[in-house]
Amino acid sequence: MVNNGCPIIMANGKPCGSLNTFSPSGQCIFHINKKGESNELQHHFKEMLFAKIQKENSDDTVKEIDFTEYRFPAYEFSNITFNKSVNFHKAIFQGYVSFKKCHFLGETNTFRGVRFEGNETIFDNVTFMGNDTGWGGVFFGSKEKTRFQDVHFESKQIAFDKSIFESKSTKFLLCEFKNKWLAFDGALFKGEYLIFKDVKLNCETLTFPSDFQSNYTHFNNCLLEGKLASFSQATFSKETVFVSTQFNSNETTFDNCRIKGEIEFQGNDGNLVFNSKATLRYLKIETIGSIIFRHVSFDQVELRGTDLRKIQFMDVYWYVKKNFVFGFPPWSKRKALYDETVLVAENKINREQAEIIKHAYRQLKQSHEDNRDYTRSNDFYFGEMEMRRLRKPNAIQRNIFSWIALYRWISGYGQIWQNSLFFIAVCLLVLPLLFPVTGLLYIYPLGTPQEYNADYWHALQYNFLTVTFQKDINDLYHPSAFTRNLAIIESLLMPVLVTLFILALRRRFKR
């Protein structure tokens, strides 16, 4: 029988062709299943593999070192520098494997479809360079651990798409990603532990729509930078903790994530977790209290569409919004949702968006009332009322000619007693400036027909007598019809202002 060589198709689309066959099917020593094979055969494989790497690494005519569908027994690729592109497509590592101190310097590094099936998979002190390092569809199934420690991922593109991490523990320790694009799209993390510790992800675009099913997932002291860090549509099935992790990307998003287990974001005095714009919109939370934010800043975080009643907020920092024009009056600041500011600034607020943010404010108000935090509750009630006001169809109704607009200006929806006091002071001290110029006269001596033009001090007295409904006012003053009408309007308005002032004062300082 003619031996046509190993039939396994390699990366170039041609059969392997090796005549060094070891199976009835014609597979060569590189492609046969080595489980249960003799130590002598495995030793022979390692010798031939080492020779292949040495030869092809130094051969200028070889553009790529091809390991497509190789079957590796326990093996250590220690201290090897691959100067060419490497291709491990659909290779299977059937035992312990280590890539300690290896350097991949070629244009492409392909691990797509690789299966790690031994006890341990180790990548320590490794560097990946070039344009592309592909980990798509890799099965990290080593029984005990998969570890990437002190690894420098510097390829322009790196993808762990649809990879499965099933080792008992998967760890990324002291790693640094410097990439234009890093993707974990569709990755599945299983096993007992998933640890990202002291990892720097400096990527223009990072996408992490993965399924986190490990019993314990821990992002500890990690740093995410670049243009975009996206965990959108990820699923967190078990306990997940982001502790002392900094999200410094221009934009960070967790939109439409599904939260099945517990997840905690924990900052500290020097790191409030979200240090730039972030979105946690439309989260699907299955259990009340399953998300905890502890010592976290929401100064630039959007939350609309998420059921905030199911979230625990502990020692968090909210966006501070100025309620009125140019921050005047100075006492009008309040804690607010960043969503409100973003949509108003971008002129994207409409009835639908206002309704969504209104519900978010209502949920926060109720949550803080249940925790007896009435100061924050009052702020969020103000936000809820603002969304009702912004639902008005035009700017005139939103800002002036509607009951809710007047309620806002006069007492800050019953929350800002200083507003009511301000308008009371205007009525008592400023309005009298109009009386002398509208024809107010005072009578002197009393009981005589002699009348004189009133000055400001007489106008103050007339104003006080008017708002306190004194009967003998006509014995002291002779107002014109216009002045009398102003005084009547003020006498009707003053009880309303005083009532709103008392109610706002009581609400602000109750309990």
Q: What is the distance between the alpha carbons of residues 38 and 496, in angstroms, rounded to a whole number?
A: 97
Euclidean distance between CA atoms 323 and 169, whole angstroms: 50
Partners of 242 in the β-ladder: 219, 265
The pLDDT value given to residue 328? 53
Report phi then psi at 95, rounded to 5: -145, -165
Q: Which pLDDT score, from 0 to 100, does residue 1 have?
A: 54
Query: What Cα–Cα distance (Å) separates residue 344 from each residue in 11, 197, 392?
Result: 55, 39, 14
User: Quick one: tokens of 223?
Assistant: 């740093």
Task: Give the pairing type, strands 139-140 and 441-443.
Answer: unpaired
Neighbour count for residue 23 (Cβ, 10 Å): 12
Beta bridge mates, 66: 87
* SS3 assignment, position 211: strand
The pLDDT value recorded for residue 345 is 76
Identity at 395, one-letter amino acid code: A
* β-strand pairing of 92-93 with 71-72: parallel
DSSP-derived secondary structure letter, 446: T
* CATH number among 3.30.870.10, 1.10.3720.10, 1.10.287.70, 3.30.450.40, domain 417-509: 1.10.287.70
Collect contacts of 446-454 with beta carbons under 8 A, ≥24 apart.
446/475, 446/476, 447/475, 451/478
Per-residue pLDDT of the chain (511 residues; tens, 9 = 90+): 566 789 999 999 999 988 777 777 788 899 998 887 778 888 889 999 999 999 999 999 999 999 999 999 999 999 999 999 999 999 999 999 999 999 999 999 999 999 999 999 999 999 999 999 999 999 999 999 999 999 999 999 999 999 999 999 999 999 999 999 999 999 999 999 999 999 999 999 999 999 999 999 999 999 999 999 999 999 999 999 999 999 999 999 999 999 999 999 999 888 899 999 999 999 999 998 899 999 999 999 999 999 999 999 999 999 998 776 544 566 678 899 999 988 887 777 788 888 999 999 999 999 888 888 888 898 999 999 999 998 888 888 888 889 999 998 888 898 888 888 989 999 999 999 999 999 999 888 887 788 889 999 999 999 999 888 888 888 888 899 999 999 899 989 999 999 999 988 887 776 5
* C-alpha to C-alpha distance for 72 and 46, rounded to whole angstroms: 9
Looking at residue 326, its pLDDT comes to 45
Q: What does the buried/exposed string (b/e) look like for 34-56 if buried means 16 or more CB atoms within 10 Å of the residue's CB?
A: beebeeeebeebeeebeeebeeb
Q: Domain-by-domain residue ranges, the chain?
A: 417-509
Residue type, 75: Y
Q: In the Cβ-directed half-sphere of 174, how many Cα atoms lie within 13 Å? A: 7
Axis crossing angle, helix 351-370 with helix 338-345, rounded to the nearest 10: 160
CB atoms within 10 A of CB 19: 11
